[in-house]
Amino acid sequence: MNKVFGVALGVLTAIGGFVDIGDLVTNAVVGSRFGMSLAWVVVVGVAGICVFASMSGRVTALSGRATFEIIRERLGPRAALANLVGSFAMTFLTLTAEIGGVALALQLLCGVDPRLLVVPVGLALWVVVWRVRFTVMENAAGLLGLLLVVFLVALVVLAPDWSELGRQAVSGVPSTESPVTYCYYAVALFGAAMTPYEVFFFSSGAVEERWTRRDLGLSRLNVLIGFPLGGLLSLGIAGCAAAVLLPAGVGVASLSQVVLPVATALGVVGLVVVSLGVLAATTGAALETALSCGYALAQYTGRPWGKLVAPIRAPHFHVTVAGVVLVAALLLLTGIDPIMVTEFSVVFSAVALPLTYLPILVVANDPEYVGDRTNGPVLNAVALAYLVVILVAAVAAIPLLVLTRMGA
């Protein structure tokens, strides 16, 4: 029974980690402008993160080592340094967006200016990282993040024209939008679904929880059930926006507009529930990104790391985590818009993705690390196809951002 309970909590953790501020905002923006015509990108992204995370989890369970330890050893310090710089910058940008998302969620609940909440939020995150047990921290965020199921409930209550949503899903580029803008949001949505920090955290968390060969089944359940359920929530967010915001011509420029369809369908109770769900999801993602910054730097430099390691034994890891939270909070105090940071973070996530995906793909086929559990021919064919997609998205991301002026 304990094992079953542990599996269930692991699956819930994957859901909570998948739907972060990037997914919330990007799916709502896309739904309000393109309806369900980009739903296929969510499906492609969910399948991609399943492939990516399954390889990473298997490598960690069989080798006992986390992502950046292996990348540095396999690529060498110089190539791995380029990987570290790009991935660390992207993860820090995402952390800034997540802390801003926590503050915005609290604003929905209590009406306080989010800039007044940034410092208390940062302090609370640091205390949780320092004092709360790893499994308690992640499972609590995952369980409370399930409140975002309210988006699916709201979509059913709204009773949209389902045939119209289906038509949108297969219609391609809407007549009101240009193909270039459509492609920009496709890349942004793909980047939101396949953020590298999820894999850093997944891999490092497996080491923290001491996964071994016996935990390969648990890893598969986390990946193959948790991430698709997170993708379903993403489609629910886009569907709500397509049902309420698109017909009204309302764009998404704030978190209040993201949750507006839920409030329309379910009233004050729905608004409170969705606000708590957003708070849980963004808090969980903020914790994950802060830890991922510490994991990446410590693993590259070969220093002790981990929540289970006391600060006196792993000072560089704990100082890095505290430092990135502090800098992100100070950046938000300048008045920078967290929604804008979110839009940048998902695009640059697509840019940074090949730096981590390719090394993991190589290692997942190396018997030195995984023994007889290398990728099979089918998985390799799928993984190589995704490598092509990832490279195309990475090359196209910045030109599309410039050409469309961030999708304007």
User: Are 328 and 122 contacting, i.e. CB atoms less than 8 angstroms apart?
Assistant: yes
Q: Which residue has the tokens 């380029």?
A: 82
pLDDT at position 5 over 70: no
Closest CA to 299 of 93, 62, 67: 67
Per-residue confidence at 352, pLDDT binned at 50, 70, 90?
A: confident
Closest CA to 24 of 171, 195, 178: 195
What is the Cα–Cα distance from 105 to 94, expressed in whole angstroms?
16
Rounded to 5 degrees, φ, ψ at 251 are -85, 170
What is the Cα–Cα distance from 243 to 245, expressed in whole angstroms?
6
Q: Which amino acid is at 65?
A: R
Question: Among 146-150, 202-206, 337-341, 379-383, which is the least confidently predicted range?
Answer: 202-206
Average pLDDT of the residues of the chain? 88
DSSP state of 375: P
Which pLDDT value is given to residue 14?
Answer: 55
pLDDT at position 268 over 90: yes
Percentage, residues of the chain above pLDDT 90 = 50
Greater model confidence, 343 or 215: 343
Structure tokens, 17: 């980690």
Per-residue confidence at 70, pLDDT binned at 50, 70, 90?
A: confident
| Position 90 in a domain | no
pLDDT at position 325 over 80: yes
Residue 242 burial class via C-beta count within 10 angstroms: exposed 0-12, middle 13-18, buried 19 and up: buried
Angle between helices 196-208 and 338-363 (to 10 degrees): 60
What is the Cα–Cα distance from 189 to 39, expressed in whole angstroms?
9
pLDDT at position 192 over 70: yes
pLDDT (tens digit per residue) in 367-403: 988 888 999 999 999 999 999 999 999 999 999 999 9
Question: Among 104-108, 356-360, 385-389, which is the least confidently predicted range?
Answer: 356-360
What is the Cα–Cα distance from 237 to 242, expressed in whole angstroms?
9
Cβ density class 249-274: b for 16+ within 10 Å, e for less: eeebebbebbbbbbbbbbeeebbbbb
What is the Cα–Cα distance from 345 to 100, expressed in whole angstroms?
13
Greater model confidence, 4 or 391: 391
Contacts of 408 (CB under 8 A, 6+ apart): none
Residues 160-170 have a mean pLDDT of 94
| Position 114 in a domain | no
**Structural domain boundaries, residue 70:** 2-83+128-266+338-404
Q: Which amino acid is at 2?
A: N
Closest CA to 339 of 94, 119, 25: 25
Q: Cβ atoms within 10 A of the Cβ of 231, count?
A: 25
Residue 42 burial class via C-beta count within 10 angstroms: exposed 0-12, middle 13-18, buried 19 and up: buried
Per-residue confidence at 286, pLDDT binned at 50, 70, 90?
A: very high
Structure tokens, 101: 């998302």
| Position 228 in a domain | yes
| Position 347 in a domain | yes
Per-residue confidence at 238, pLDDT binned at 50, 70, 90?
A: very high
| Position 168 in a domain | yes
User: Are 96 and 342 contacting, i.e. CB atoms less than 8 angstroms apart?
Assistant: no
Number of compact structural domains in the chain: 1
DSSP state of 132: S
Residues 289-316 have a mean pLDDT of 90
Contacts of 28 (CB under 8 A, 6+ apart): 237, 238, 240, 241, 245, 252, 257, 258
Contacts of 84 (CB under 8 A, 6+ apart): 68, 296, 297, 300
Which pLDDT value is given to residue 139?
Answer: 72
What is the Cα–Cα distance from 282 to 272, expressed in whole angstroms?
15
| Position 111 in a domain | no
Structure tokens, 137: 């921290």
pLDDT (tens digit per residue) in 78-105: 888 888 888 899 899 999 999 999 999 9
pLDDT at position 2 over 50: no
| Position 7 in a domain | yes
pLDDT at position 1 over 60: no
Which pLDDT value is given to residue 15?
Answer: 57
Which pLDDT value is given to residue 9?
Answer: 45
Q: What number of CA atoms fall less than 13 Å from residue 106's CA on the CB side?
A: 18
User: Are 189 and 41 contacting, i.e. CB atoms less than 8 angstroms apart?
Assistant: yes
Which pLDDT value is given to residue 39?
Answer: 96
User: Are 283 and 95 contacting, i.e. CB atoms less than 8 angstroms apart?
Assistant: no
| Position 283 in a domain | no
Percentage, residues of the chain above pLDDT 70 = 95
